[in-house]
């Protein structure tokens, strides 16, 4: 069955994927005699890149430290290639079936259980992604504001009073917490930015409206990669000892000259986070079909070109930032790269600006990732009902509330990358596209795409099991 691609905008909208009955396609929203003009090629590229890039760029240097440079490059190329190929399978299925929703593809392939499984996976994946973004805001935004508003006095006052308290036990009645300004409370700032920025942008009814914020976020990410390259030569190796972070705490480094030699390959218990973090970093499949639906003159070839450009540019930025981040800190890379610069260059103006830029980029990404999660939730709970502002607002508030709570509770961003990446990211990136293609494709089983789909399913299952097992073992050893 084929479908007129010029009618794609009529067949796809948030929570309004077309109802497919045999060969009949019934749009749930119509726009009259002519559909509105869709999103441009460039804006779609920015939106897709913004869906791809986010907090993952901060964790890839940590992955390189635990896999080695060549090992990292091989894995990054493998995951990015599989991501582009799995999108090719999804777009091909869209053209063959006329379905333009990831959840509906699951329903067509595996009936209602498939639709529910895909919907739940999308919700968990995107809520995990959003919580990781908000976690970064919670941990980094207070330090960023503090560095601009009070760059010199706070750390000195804290050190002086701490030394004074240790020498004079009789002045314990003084309350150190009084030194903290309100903007140093990461949880309070997180609530404020969610209400003032994330919530209004998340209320927008179409994903195409976010193309302007997505373009801004991309240039922030580009600036981050440039700063990581430049600052490689500003931090000595071996790393200095007993440095003071922006928050006034001491961070002890035990670097030696031998640690300043980069490793080409490395294997450790922490290597289990490699594939999940990469899968997390390249997963844009939940946003690919909504973007496809709103594309001007939508065709499979046009959307595949958008995908290839977006993944290619993201690959370059990921590789550059991970490589130079690793060559700066070597084995002492934090699971969140910005924390290293916070420790060794807390007052550097470029670091201060890039910290603020990456926070703004992450902040602007949250509404884009929220869109597919809300679409999946509405589709599962309310089926094919026409668009309703009441349902739209209710779903937005519930999802953002859950994400906000998760971001406040999570102690380490690495846990989000690992668990979500090894489960839902692996399913959505590798397993589901291959499985659905094998189930719905009418072509021969020995064709190139069918063989590729089989390999996708096998690779996804094996990678997911091995990665999740490694992460659980690491937790058990640490506990």
- What pLDDT is recorded for position 400? 92
- What pLDDT is recorded for position 70? 93
More confident of the two residues 271 and 48: 48
d(CA 464, CA 469): 8
What are the extents of the domains in the chain? 5-152+179-478
Share of the chain above pLDDT 90, in %: 14
Identify which of 39, 59, 55, 56 has the alpha carbon closest to the alpha carbon of residue 47: 39
79-88, 145-154, 179-188, 470-479: which has the minimum mean pLDDT?
145-154
94-98, 240-244, 320-324, 362-366: which has the minimum mean pLDDT?
240-244
d(CA 71, CA 262): 12
| Average pLDDT value for residue range 258-287 | 76
C-alpha neighbours within 13 Å on the C-beta side of residue 66: 18
Residue 179: both structure tokens together:
């030194």
d(CA 289, CA 38): 14
Cα–Cα separations (whole angstroms), residue 96 to 1, 90, 105, 276, 470: 6, 10, 11, 31, 39
| Average pLDDT value for residue range 144-150 | 73
Q: Cβ neighbours of residue 273 under 8 Å, at least 6 residues apart?
A: 59, 62, 63, 66, 414, 417, 418, 421, 467, 470, 471
**CA-based diameter of the chain, in Å?**
83
Q: Do 15 and 385 touch, CB atoms closer than 8 A?
A: yes
Q: Is the confidence at residue 17, as pLDDT, over 50?
A: no
Q: Is the confidence at residue 1, as pLDDT, over 60?
A: no
In the CATH scheme, what is the code of domain 5-152+179-478?
A: 1.20.1740.10
| Average pLDDT value for residue range 280-285 | 80
Q: Do 30 and 16 touch, CB atoms closer than 8 A?
A: no
Instruction: Please name every residue paired with 456 in a beta bridge, in sequence order, or none if there are none.
Output: none
What's the chain's length in residues? 479
Give the pLDDT band of residue 172 (cuts 50, 70, 90).
very low
Tally Cβ neighbours within 10 Å of residue 446: 7
Q: Do 54 and 369 touch, CB atoms closer than 8 A?
A: yes
More confident of the two residues 114 and 424: 114
- What pLDDT is recorded for position 315? 93
Identify which of 100, 454, 87, 52 has the alpha carbon closest to the alpha carbon of residue 301: 87
C-alpha neighbours within 13 Å on the C-beta side of residue 364: 24
3-state SS string for the chain: CCCCHHHHHHHCCCCCCCEEECCEEECCCCCCCCCCCCECHHHHHHHHHHHHCCCHHHHHHHHHHHHCHHHHHHHHHHHHHHHHHHHHHHHHHHHHHCCCCHHHHHHHHHHHHHHHHHHHHHHHHHHHHHHHHHHHHHHHHHHHHHHHHCCCHHHHHHHHHHHHHHHCHHHCCCCHHHHCCHHHCHHHHHHHHHHHHHHHHHCCCCHHHHHHHHHHHHHHHHHHHHHHHHHHHCCCCCCCCCEECCCCCEECCCCCHHHHCCCCCCCCHHHHHHHHHHHHHHCCHHHHHHHHHCECCCCHHHHHHHHHHHHHHHHHHHHHHHHHHHHHHHHHCCCCCHHHHHHHCCCCHHHHHHHHHHHHHHHHHHHHHHHHHHHHHHHHHHCCCCCCHHHHHHHHHHHHHHHHHHHHHCCCHHHHHHHHHHHHHHHHHHHHHHHHHHHHCCCCCCCHHHHHHHHHHHHHHHHHHHHHHHHHHHHHHHC
d(CA 41, CA 295): 7
Give the pLDDT band of residue 24 (cuts 50, 70, 90).
very low
Q: Is the confidence at residue 33, as pLDDT, over 70?
A: no
Condensed to tens digits (0 to 9), the pLDDT of residues 334-362 reads 877 877 787 777 778 888 888 888 888 88
Residue 336: both structure tokens together:
């969140």
**Among all chains, which residue has been given the structure tokens 């006034």?**
248
Q: Which of 181-185, 341-345, 350-354, 454-458 has the highest mean pLDDT?
A: 454-458
Straight-line distance from the first to the last Cα atom of the chain, in angstroms, rounded to the nearest whole number: 55
Identify which of 217, 258, 178, 463 has the alpha carbon closest to the alpha carbon of residue 362: 217
């Amino acid at each position: 069955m084929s479908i007129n691609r010029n009618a794609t905008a009529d067949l796809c909208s948030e929570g309004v994927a077309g109802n497919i009955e045999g060969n009949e396609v019934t749009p749930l929203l119509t726009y009259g005699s002519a559909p509105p003009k869709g999103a441009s090629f460039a804006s779609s590229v920015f939106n897709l890149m913004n869906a791809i890039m986010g907090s993952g760029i901060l964790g890839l240097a940590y992955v390189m430290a635990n896999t080695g440079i060549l090992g990292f490059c091989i894995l990054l190329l493998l995951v990015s290639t599989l991501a582009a190929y799995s999108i090719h399978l999804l777009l091909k299925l869209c053209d063959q079936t006329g379905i333009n929703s990831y959840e509906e593809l699951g329903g067509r392939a595996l009936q209602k259980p498939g639709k529910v499984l895909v919907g739940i996976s999308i919700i968990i994946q995107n809520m995990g992604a959003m919580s990781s973004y908000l976690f970064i805001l919670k941990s980094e935004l207070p330090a960023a504001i503090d560095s601009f508003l009070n760059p010199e006095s706070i750390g000195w006052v804290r050190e002086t009073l701490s030394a004074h308290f240790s020498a004079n036990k009789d002045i314990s009645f003084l309350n150190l917490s009084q030194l903290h300004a309100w903007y140093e409370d990461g949880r309070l700032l997180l609530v404020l930015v969610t209400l003032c920025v994330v919530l209004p942008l998340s209320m927008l009814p179409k994903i195409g409206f976010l193309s302007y914020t997505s373009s801004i976020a991309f240039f922030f990410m580009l600036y981050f990669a440039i700063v990581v390259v430049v600052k490689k030569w500003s931090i000595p190796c071996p790393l200095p000892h007993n440095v003071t972070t922006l928050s006034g705490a001491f961070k002890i480094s035990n670097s030696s000259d031998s640690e300043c030699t980069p490793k080409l390959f490395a294997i450790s218990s922490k290597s289990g986070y490699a594939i999940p973090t990469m899968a997390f970093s390249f997963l844009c499949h939940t946003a690919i079909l909504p973007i496809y639906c709103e594309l001007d003159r939508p065709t499979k070839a046009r959307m595949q070109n958008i995908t290839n450009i977006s993944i290619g540019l993201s690959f370059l930025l990921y590789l550059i930032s991970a490589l130079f981040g690793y060559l700066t800190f070597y084995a002492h890379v934090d699971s969140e790269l910005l924390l290293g610069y916070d420790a060794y260059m807390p007052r550097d103006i470029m670091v201060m600006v890039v910290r603020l830029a990456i926070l703004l980029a992450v902040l602007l990404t949250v509404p884009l990732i929220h869109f597919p999660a809300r679409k999946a939730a509405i589709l599962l709970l309310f089926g094919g009902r026409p668009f309703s502002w009441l349902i739209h607002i209710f779903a937005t508030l519930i999802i953002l509330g859950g994400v906000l709570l998760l971001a406040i509770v999570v102690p380490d961003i690495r846990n989000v990358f690992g668990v979500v990446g090894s489960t839902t990211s692996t399913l959505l990136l590798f397993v589901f596209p291959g499985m659905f293609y094998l189930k719905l494709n009418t072509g021969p089983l020995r064709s190139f795409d069918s063989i590729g789909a089989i390999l996708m399913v096998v690779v996804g299952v094996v990678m997911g099991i091995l990665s999740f097992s490694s992460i659980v073992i690491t937790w058990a050893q640490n506990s």
